[in-house]
Each structure stands twice: as structure tokens, then as C-alpha cells.
Amino acid sequence: KAGVTQTPRYLIKTRGQQVTLSCSPISGHRSVSWYQQTPGQGLQFLFEYFSETQRNKGNFPGRFSGRQFSNSRSEMNVSTLELGDSALYLCASSILTGINEKLFFGSGTQLSVL
């Protein structure tokens, strides 16, 4: 069974641009969560999607958005990029949504904003 796939692996953008990251969950998994990881703030929850609906949202500005498609694939978008958005963005999937679900993570997209 293929794991969680994130594309692209690396991305370099400049301030003010926008970016779209993609995540394909494990087959059969219906929940997709996104996390931002930086050396200073650690791992922070962005949002979770389940059955194409946003289930949870973290404390990030509206420049960060996401969506989930009917095949459970998810995308996240960051508009008007800032230097502070440089981070490793991790996607995780789980079979269902719920507090006892085990998360399966992709390898992440390393975003650098210049």
C-alpha cells in the first residue's frame, strides 16, 4: 500500500507569490490534516479535512487555505507569501476523523520563501 504522497518535495518562492501544495493520502483514508514545522515554532496544526469538509482549523491567518477533493486528495494554498512562511509543510492522513486516530505522515514539502 502506497504511503502519503506530497508534491512537490521542494519549492522556492519569493515574497508576495502564492503556492499550492498537494497531498495524496493512503488509499481508503478519508481524513487529511496539514501541519507546519519550523525550528522556532515546532509543529503547528493548520487544518483538517474529512469528506471534503474542513473539520478543524488552527490559528493561522486567512492566507492559508485548503480543500479536499472527492477522492480524498487535498491541496493547501498560501497566498501573499511572507518570509516567515518558510517551513516544512507536512500532510497526514487517517482512516477516519477522531481523537484516537493514528496519523500517517508524508515526507513533506520544504518551502523556502526568498
Partner 1 sequence: SQQGEEDPQALSIQEGENATMNCSYKTSINNLQWYRQNSGRGLVHLILIRSNEREKHSGRLRVTLDTSKKSSSLLITASRAADTASYFCATAGRETSGSRLTFGEGTQLTVNP
Contact residues toward partner 1 (CB under 8 A) are 4, 31, 33, 35, 42-45, 48, 50, 55-56, 58, 88, 90, 92, 94, 97-108, 110
Rounded to the nearest whole angstrom, what is the least distance from the CB of residue 108 to partner 1 in the complex?
Answer: 6
Q: Grid coordinates 526568498 are at which residue? A: 114
Choice between 60 and 105, CB closer to partner 1: 105
Rounded to the nearest whole angstrom, what is the least distance from the CB of residue 48 to partner 1 in the complex?
Answer: 5
Choice between 5 and 79, CB closer to partner 1: 5
Q: Grid coordinates 478519508 are at which residue? A: 30
Choice between 79 and 86, CB closer to partner 1: 86
Rounded to the nearest whole angstrom, what is the least distance from the CB of residue 4 to partner 1 in the complex?
Answer: 7
Which DSSP symbol is given to 84?
G
Helices (H), the chain: none
Choice between 28 and 42, CB closer to partner 1: 42
Rounded to the nearest whole angstrom, what is the least distance from the CB of residue 28 to partner 1 in the complex?
Answer: 15
Residue among 8, 97, 102 at smallest CA distance from 53: 97
CA distance 90 to 86: 13
114, 50 in Cβ contact below 8 A? no
Residue among 101, 105, 73 at smallest CA distance from 88: 105
